[in-house]
Amino acid sequence: MSMAVGTIMQIAGIGFLVAVLHTVLKSAGKEEFAHWTTLTGLIIALLLIVSKLNLLFTEITSVFRIQ
Protein backbone atom coordinates (compact mmCIF):
# COMPACT_ATOMS: atom_id res chain seq x y z
CA MET A 1 0.00 0.00 0.00
CA SER A 2 1.42 3.35 -0.95
CA MET A 3 2.06 6.11 1.57
CA ALA A 4 -0.85 8.22 0.30
CA VAL A 5 -3.37 5.41 0.55
CA GLY A 6 -2.02 4.46 3.98
CA THR A 7 -2.45 8.01 5.22
CA ILE A 8 -5.99 8.19 3.86
CA MET A 9 -6.82 4.90 5.58
CA GLN A 10 -5.35 6.16 8.87
CA ILE A 11 -7.46 9.32 8.70
CA ALA A 12 -10.55 7.29 7.79
CA GLY A 13 -9.88 4.95 10.71
CA ILE A 14 -9.53 7.88 13.08
CA GLY A 15 -12.77 9.34 11.74
CA PHE A 16 -14.62 6.05 12.18
CA LEU A 17 -13.31 5.56 15.71
CA VAL A 18 -14.17 9.13 16.69
CA ALA A 19 -17.68 8.78 15.22
CA VAL A 20 -18.33 5.61 17.22
CA LEU A 21 -16.95 7.12 20.43
CA HIS A 22 -18.95 10.30 19.90
CA THR A 23 -22.16 8.34 19.43
CA VAL A 24 -21.56 6.15 22.47
CA LEU A 25 -20.63 9.06 24.70
CA LYS A 26 -23.54 11.18 23.52
CA SER A 27 -26.05 8.39 24.10
CA ALA A 28 -24.59 7.89 27.59
CA GLY A 29 -25.28 11.54 28.39
CA LYS A 30 -21.62 12.60 28.29
CA GLU A 31 -21.95 15.21 25.56
CA GLU A 32 -18.99 17.26 26.78
CA PHE A 33 -16.68 14.25 26.53
CA ALA A 34 -18.15 13.48 23.11
CA HIS A 35 -17.21 16.95 21.88
CA TRP A 36 -13.71 16.67 23.34
CA THR A 37 -13.31 13.30 21.61
CA THR A 38 -14.28 14.85 18.29
CA LEU A 39 -11.90 17.74 18.79
CA THR A 40 -9.06 15.38 19.72
CA GLY A 41 -9.69 13.25 16.63
CA LEU A 42 -9.65 16.35 14.44
CA ILE A 43 -6.34 17.51 15.93
CA ILE A 44 -4.75 14.08 15.41
CA ALA A 45 -5.93 13.98 11.79
CA LEU A 46 -4.61 17.50 11.18
CA LEU A 47 -1.24 16.54 12.66
CA LEU A 48 -1.04 13.62 10.23
CA ILE A 49 -1.85 15.92 7.33
CA VAL A 50 0.67 18.57 8.43
CA SER A 51 3.44 15.96 8.70
CA LYS A 52 2.70 14.75 5.16
CA LEU A 53 2.64 18.34 3.88
CA ASN A 54 6.04 18.88 5.48
CA LEU A 55 7.37 15.87 3.56
CA LEU A 56 5.83 17.24 0.36
CA PHE A 57 7.42 20.67 0.74
CA THR A 58 10.77 19.11 1.61
CA GLU A 59 10.58 17.02 -1.55
CA ILE A 60 9.62 20.05 -3.66
CA THR A 61 12.54 22.09 -2.32
CA SER A 62 14.94 19.22 -2.99
CA VAL A 63 13.66 18.78 -6.55
CA PHE A 64 13.96 22.46 -7.42
CA ARG A 65 16.97 23.03 -5.15
CA ILE A 66 15.30 25.97 -3.40
CA GLN A 67 17.32 27.32 -0.49
Nearest residue to 52 via CA among 17, 6, 18, 20: 6
Q: Which domain holds residue 45?
A: 3-64
**Does the pLDDT of residue 35 top 90, yes or no?**
yes
Domain count, the chain: 1
pLDDT of 36 over the 60 cut: yes
Phi, psi for residue 28 in degrees, rounded to 5: -85, 0
Contacts of 21 (CB under 8 A, 6+ apart): 34, 37
pLDDT band at 37 (very low <50, low <70, confident <90, very high): very high
Count CB-CB contacts under 10 A for residue 13.
11
Half-sphere exposure of 62 (CA within 13 A, CB side): 6
Q: Which residue has the higher pLDDT, 4 or 18?
A: 18
Q: What is the mean pLDDT of residues 37-56?
A: 94
